[in-house]
Amino acid sequence: MLFLQTSQLTTDFNNRIYPGVRPATLCLFKYISQHWTNVNLKMILVTVGFILLVHSLPARTDSGDDVIKVIPHTSDELSHLIDYLNNEALQGHIDIWTMPKNVDKDGVFKIAHEYKIQTEAWLTKEGMDYSIITGDIERLIMNEEADKTSETIVTRSRLQTSDVNLKAFNDHNNINTYLRISVGICDICRLISIGKSYQNREMLVIKLINGYHRNDSDIMWLLDHFVYYILPSANPDGYMYSREYDRMWRKTRKPTLKVGCVGSDPNRNWKFHWAESGVSFNRCSGIFPGEHPFSEVEMRNIRRFLWRYRNRFIVYLSLHSYGQQWLYPWGYDDSLPEDWKELDRVGQRATNKIRDTSGADYELGSSTHLLYAAAGVSDDWAKAVAGIKYSYAVELADLGEYGFFMPAELIQPSFDEFWPALPEMSKAVQEFLDGIIH
């Protein structure tokens, strides 16, 4: 998550739980902290939180399960495929990685072994263009596990020379160690604990405040106008489980009321139109929204933190992977906020900057129009309940070549692609605050 806060307002930059975001956030923190300056009392809060961080190591695909890629080529095929994937009888046995939104756009899902014959028979009967990519995924996971040897434990002596290894996906403890050491050697950094996870892992926020400028004009401008808060891990238990046991785990780790079903979707657990769309009440489903709103302690921790500073937050960004999209509310249905044109204006500035600097095209629009309806998401709550004006969900690189399995060597390029959007977005927001835009 990333929160942008001025002396009156705050921005939240929130990450959903997907690959690439946590390392990118550490890159952001490292880059800013190396270019500190004197600043006014305005703040940007960067919180990388709801990333499913399926970029973890090591991981498995359940023995006998299949990963299937489907490309619907007609509107009828698209409609039938979406209906099949949403079939309640499959929930708890299917894990949808990407839901196809348009004709000729692929969908990817993992199906439990006991349903794969039935599913493949249905796809064949419908004449669907599909392929089994299980072997490709397993090879990517094996490559990730081999890369784990490059992950390093942070020590003070190492931090003083080359800092945390940003070319690897670091675990939760390593990230927290990096944050704790950083506050001792970075005079613009402050550390805030917002609580602990269900399994007692501490959730730390790093705050970037006034300091001394070095030589980067973008950093100087950002810190002259805003203060940043960064929450690198919003679902630490789920993240660690994905590293140690199940590569594609996306939920929390609190047991549900059904024996054998663990965890809730952290980004469907927020109390705004909770469970009205895009969820399953099968407690084993990957999109189970929880027993009730804010049933998950991690989400309560973040809610409490946001609510405390709600009158000062101005932007909320929720980072996800993948798909290269810049999304604004609403997520629960296809309606739009009253100020959607202003959300679109700022989003256009950000996406244009990405295209101009890297050539990457990011789609811009509402979550439901570009993806699908999903109620109880954090960016809807941030705007509607906390009153954070600019609330976005950003789907980061790529377009599907690696998807949730982006290799570690692309961490830095992913950050380089996204970074220019942050100062450009902030400048567009400042135009509104200065009264240039009405």
Enzyme catalytic residues = 395
Task: Give the span between the Cα atoms of 340 and 312, in whole angstroms.
Answer: 20
Helix H or strand E segment including 327: strand 325-328
The residue type found at 20 is G
Task: Give the span between the Cα atoms of 40 and 343, in whole angstroms.
Answer: 25
- The torsion of the CA quartet 13, 428, 360, 242, rounded to 10 degrees, works out to 0
CB within 8 Å of 139: residues ≥ 6 apart: none
**Count of alpha carbons within 13 angstroms of residue 61, beta-carbon side:** 23
CB within 8 Å of 218: residues ≥ 6 apart: 423
Q: What are phi and psi of 114, to 5 degrees?
A: -75, -10
Residue 68's nearest CA partner among 20, 108, 96, 11 is 108
C-alpha distances (whole Å) from 206 to each of 1, 32, 175, 312, 436 are: 12, 12, 11, 17, 31
Residue 425's nearest CA partner among 391, 395, 378 is 391
DSSP code for 150 = G
What would the two tokens of residue 351 be? 């996406």
Instruction: Centre a 10 Å sphere on the Cβ of residue 412 and count the other Cβ atoms it contains.
Output: 14
What would the two tokens of residue 250 be? 């996306």
**Count of alpha carbons within 13 angstroms of residue 232, beta-carbon side:** 28
Give, in degrees to the nearest 5, the angle at Cα 23 between 376 and 389: 40
> Left if phi > 0, otherwise alpha if psi is -120 to 50, otherwise beta: which for 350?
alpha
DSSP code for 93 = T
What would the two tokens of residue 5 be? 């806060």
Residue that has been written with the tokens 């709103």 in this structure = 293
User: Which parts of 388-435 fold into alpha helices (H)?
Assistant: 411-418, 421-433
What would the two tokens of residue 260 be? 């054998």
Buried b (16+ CB within 10 A) or exposed e, 48-74: bbbbbbbbbbbbebeeebbbbbbbbee
